[in-house]
Amino acid sequence: MREIAIGIDLGGTSIKFAFLTREGEIIKQWAIPTPVDSDGRLIIPFIIRSIKENIEESTLLPAQIVAIGMGSPGSVNREKGTVIGAFNLNWIKTVYVKEQMEEAFQIPFILDNDANVAALGEQWLGAGQNDPNVVFLTLGTGVGGGVIVKGELVHGFLDTAGEIGHLKVENEGFTCTCGQVGCLETVASATGIVAVAKKEARGYMDSSVLAKTILDGRVITSKSIFESAKLKDPFAEHVLSIVGRYLGVACANIANVLNPSTIILGGGVSKAGNLLLSYVVPNFERNAFPTIAKRTAIKIATLENDAGVLGAASLAFESADKT
Ligand code: ZN
């Protein structure tokens, strides 16, 4: 009888699920919209119901399912299995996730933050190729991260390790959501890249359609900056050379401290693929400790939306083995 773990990736718009084997084979995966109304009180009951329905519809025996893992936004208390301050779920006060899940299923349940769980997925079955020492950066609306050393996530003293988005890359820069100034997130997230573009547009009024678009007060996206760079727009190339320097320096600092074999770039911005790498890698090599500059791989994530459920399932197997 093959052992199965359930991985859950809880997000503000959808909840993704997967049944997984120890080898990482997906037996079944599905998603439901996140019921964020009523202060998010329906979220856990909906998760429980959806899992029960999908177990019934499958050929799995309840005894095959060894544990459940979940990645959540907000501040996660791993020991207690609670979440607080997940604003996109309307979970403002403490939600007792583990308590409700273990009562419903009577098997171990383990919770971690969403970026950590995605990092584990990419390390195991994605661009990390199951290497034990991997760092993951997710470049989305914000910048998140996860650090894996010797095959395990690093959590630190207060469970806040891996906050790569708040690495300082500028002494005087944009103010970050965390209240500090000059964090990586303010210049390398999708919104950060647009902020850099807005700051730099003035000098390119006559040479770039994109710069003119900004100066005319119209909305642009990070995607349009990459698309213009592909067409050799000098302004877009200038913006990405700045962003690439910030990311390259951040990756070099991470590599100098942790010496991972691979740094994986994921999230929406990473869809720019090799174009993004062409700006990041030279800056990484220029700034990293010489012995590791050429030996650390900087790669684009490969699992896209599946990283969360796969990482959550991997966490579940790990917790099942410990109990
Ligand atoms: Zn910050």
Per residue in 229-243, pLDDT (tens digit) is 999 999 999 999 999
pLDDT of residue 1: 81
Distance 192 CA to ligand 1 centre (A): 12
Distance 66 CA to ligand 1 centre (A): 38
Distance 308 CA to ligand 1 centre (A): 23
pLDDT of residue 323: 74
Distance 168 CA to ligand 1 centre (A): 8
> What pLDDT, in 10s, does the model give residues 112-128?
999 999 999 999 999 99
Q: Which amino acid is at 15?
A: I
Distance 182 CA to ligand 1 centre (A): 7
Backbone angles phi, psi at 37, to 5 degrees: -70, 175
> What pLDDT, in 10s, does the model give residues 250-286?
999 999 999 999 999 999 999 999 999 999 999 999 9
CA 43/CA 34 separation, integer angstroms: 7
Distance 117 CA to ligand 1 centre (A): 21
Distance 144 CA to ligand 1 centre (A): 10
Distance 316 CA to ligand 1 centre (A): 30
Say which CATH architecture domain 131-302 belongs to: 2-Layer Sandwich (3.30)
Distance 158 CA to ligand 1 centre (A): 17
> What pLDDT, in 10s, does the model give residues 13-49?
999 999 999 999 999 999 999 999 999 999 999 999 9
Distance 166 CA to ligand 1 centre (A): 4
Give the domain ranges of the chain.
Answer: 4-121+306-322, 131-302
CA 102/CA 19 separation, integer angstroms: 17
Assign domain 4-121+306-322 to a CATH class.
alpha beta
User: How wide is the angle at C-alpha 293 spanned by C-alphas 278 and 137, nearest 5°?
Assistant: 60
Distance in Å from the first CA to the final CA of the chain: 19
Q: Is the pLDDT of residue 289 over 80?
A: yes
263, 281 Cβ separation under 8 angstroms: no
The CB-based long-range contact list for 32-38 (8 Å cut-off, 24+ gap) reads 34/10, 34/89, 36/12, 36/88, 36/89, 36/90, 37/90
Q: What is the mean pLDDT of residues 166-184?
A: 95
CA 275/CA 300 separation, integer angstroms: 11
Distance 172 CA to ligand 1 centre (A): 13
Would you say the CATH fold of 131-302 matches that of 4-121+306-322? Answer: yes
pLDDT of residue 267: 94
Distance 266 CA to ligand 1 centre (A): 19
Distance 108 CA to ligand 1 centre (A): 34
Distance 191 CA to ligand 1 centre (A): 13
pLDDT tier, 304 (very low <50, low <70, confident <90, very high otherwise): confident
Distance 69 CA to ligand 1 centre (A): 28
CA 271/CA 302 separation, integer angstroms: 10
Distance 138 CA to ligand 1 centre (A): 14
Q: What is the mean pLDDT of residues 162-186?
A: 95
pLDDT more than 90, % of the chain: 95
Q: Is the pLDDT of residue 64 over 80?
A: yes
Distance 272 CA to ligand 1 centre (A): 24
Please, what is the average pLDDT of the chain?
Answer: 96
Distance 65 CA to ligand 1 centre (A): 39
Distance 89 CA to ligand 1 centre (A): 21
pLDDT of residue 102: 96
Distance 175 CA to ligand 1 centre (A): 8
